């Protein structure tokens, strides 16, 4: 429990240092950890060896965006993570965390495919899929646009709709989800996101409200 508190404190301080907004900060780390836990437990039934990877999965889930190149030079972020974990994990565990967080992003996977990480391959997929499942949060996508592109809410909405229909809703078709838990949840999260889009469209179509 103390390690988890320290991990979240690191996320807070790193987010302040590099201006990491709420779309990739503490709440996102918490959501990815929750998703990872759920996928981990669903996979553990048929793969009890995963128990050995639990700490790696949890730590990677919390820290994964602290080296995101959208906010920080990736190598600097990785070095910060290594320095932070130096007295908390073994050298081998730290290496595993670094290998996961540096290869799991959507853009990296689309460009290079899945890496071969040997014994931590399933741990990698769990954390990667947990992050992908968090991407179905439509408001989070709008929030990122508003913080980082200076977009007003209408432009943020339009950009988010485009991203969802061309990327997020294609996760299953693009074979980015390999666990049954994530494949099943994909359809539920897609429905929730579509309903969110419909409501936002109604709000923003009310020109009198939008011009306030």
pLDDT of residue 162: 97
The pLDDT of residue 210 is above 50: no
- The label of the residue with tokens 């936002």 reads 200
Q: Is the pLDDT of residue 184 over 60?
A: yes
What is the percent of the chain with per-residue pLDDT over 70, rounded to a whole number?
A: 97
Nearest to 106 by CA among 24, 15, 12: 24
pLDDT tens digit sequence for 164-174 = 999 999 999 99
Q: Can you list the positions of beta strands (E) in the chain? A: none
Instruction: Report CA dihedral (28, 33, 34, 37) to the nearest 10 degrees.
Output: 160
Contact 129, 106 (CB under 8 A): no
Report pLDDT digits (tens) over 62-91: 999 999 999 999 999 999 999 999 999 999
Q: How far is CA 43 from CA 37, 194, 204, in A?
A: 10, 28, 41
Of the candidate CATH numbers 1.10.530.10, 3.40.50.880, 1.10.3210.10, 2.40.30.10, the domain formed by 1-133 belongs to 1.10.3210.10
Question: What is the domain partition of the chain in residue ranges?
Answer: 1-133, 135-212
φ, ψ of residue 170 in degrees (nearest 5): -100, 0
Residues 6+ apart with CB under 8 A from 124: 99, 100, 103, 104, 114, 115, 117
Please answer whether residues 25 and 32 qualify as being in contact, where contact means their C-beta atoms are separated by less than 8 angstroms.
no
**pLDDT-based confidence at residue 12 (cuts at 50, 70, 90):** very high
Residue 143 corresponds to which tokens in the numbers above?
């929030």
Integer Cα distance of 23 and 176 in angstroms: 21
- The rounded distance, in Å, linking the Cα atoms of 15 and 1 is 21
- Whether the per-residue pLDDT at 149 is higher than 90: the answer is no
| Two tokens, residue 109 | 């996977």
Contact (Cβ atoms closer than 8 angstroms) between residue 99 and residue 63: no
| Residue 150 confidence (pLDDT) | 78
Q: How confident is the model at residue 212 (pLDDT cuts 50, 70, 90)?
A: very low
pLDDT, residue 207, reads 56
* Tens-place pLDDT, residues 110-130: 999 999 999 999 999 999 999
Question: What's the rounded Cα separation, in Å, for the pair 42 and 20?
Answer: 31
Q: How far apart are CA 104 and CA 98, in angstroms?
A: 10
């Amino acid at each position: 429990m103390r390690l988890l508190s320290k991990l979240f404190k690191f996320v807070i301080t790193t987010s302040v240092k590099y201006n990491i907004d709420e779309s990739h900060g503490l709440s996102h780390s918490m959501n990815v950890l929750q998703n990872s836990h759920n996928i981990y437990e669903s996979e553990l039934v048929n793969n009890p060896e995963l128990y050995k990877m639990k700490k790696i999965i949890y730590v990677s889930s919390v820290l994964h965006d602290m080296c995101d190149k959208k906010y920080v030079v990736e190598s600097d972020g990785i070095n910060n993570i290594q320095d932070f974990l130096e007295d908390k994990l073994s050298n081998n565990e730290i290496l595993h965390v670094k290998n996961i967080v540096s290869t799991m992003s959507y853009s990296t996977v689309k460009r290079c495919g899945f890496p071969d990480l040997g014994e931590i391959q399933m741990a990698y997929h769990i954390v990667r899929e947990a992050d992908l499942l968090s991407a179905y949060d439509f408001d989070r996508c709008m929030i990122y646009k508003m913080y980082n592109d200076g977009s007003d809410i209408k432009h943020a909405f339009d950009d988010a709709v485009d991203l969802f229909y061309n990327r997020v809703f294609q996760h299953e078709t693009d074979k980015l989800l390999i666990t049954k838990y994530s494949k099943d949840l994909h359809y539920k999260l897609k429905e929730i996101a579509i309903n969110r889009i419909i409501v936002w469209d109604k709000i923003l179509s009310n020109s009198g409200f939008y011009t306030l």
